Amino acid sequence: MEMYWTWKRFEEISGAEMHEMLSERQKVFIVEQKCVYQDADNLDSQSWHLVGRDREGMLAAYARINFPGAKYKEPSFGRIFTSQANRAIGLGHQIIQHCIEKCEIEYPDMPIRISAQTYLMGFYKGFCFEVVDQPYDDEGVEHIDMVLIPKLDV
| Whole-number percent of the chain with pLDDT over 90 | 48
Residue 70: how many other CB atoms lie within 10 Å: 15
What's the pLDDT score for residue 110? 95
> What confidence tens digit (pLDDT) does each residue in 48-61 have?
999 998 888 888 88
DSSP helix/strand/coil, 75: coil
Q: Is residue 153 part of a domain?
A: no
Q: Is residue 57 part of a domain?
A: yes
**What is the spatial distance between Cα 11 and Cα 72, in angstroms, rounded to a whole number?**
21
Q: Is residue 132 part of a domain?
A: no
Q: Is residue 135 part of a domain?
A: no
What's the pLDDT score for residue 67? 96
Total domain count, the chain? 1
What's the pLDDT score for residue 28? 65
Residues in the chain with pLDDT < 70? 1, 25, 28-40, 84-87, 152-154
Q: Is residue 118 part of a domain?
A: no
Is the distance from CB of 129 to CB of 116 less than 8 angstroms? yes
**What is the spatial distance between Cα 106 and Cα 64, in angstroms, rounded to a whole number?**
13
Q: Is residue 136 part of a domain?
A: no
Residue 135: how many other CB atoms lie within 10 Å: 14
Q: Is residue 100 part of a domain?
A: yes
Closest CA to 55 of 85, 10, 92: 85
Residue 29: give the domain boundaries. 4-111
Q: Is residue 27 part of a domain?
A: yes
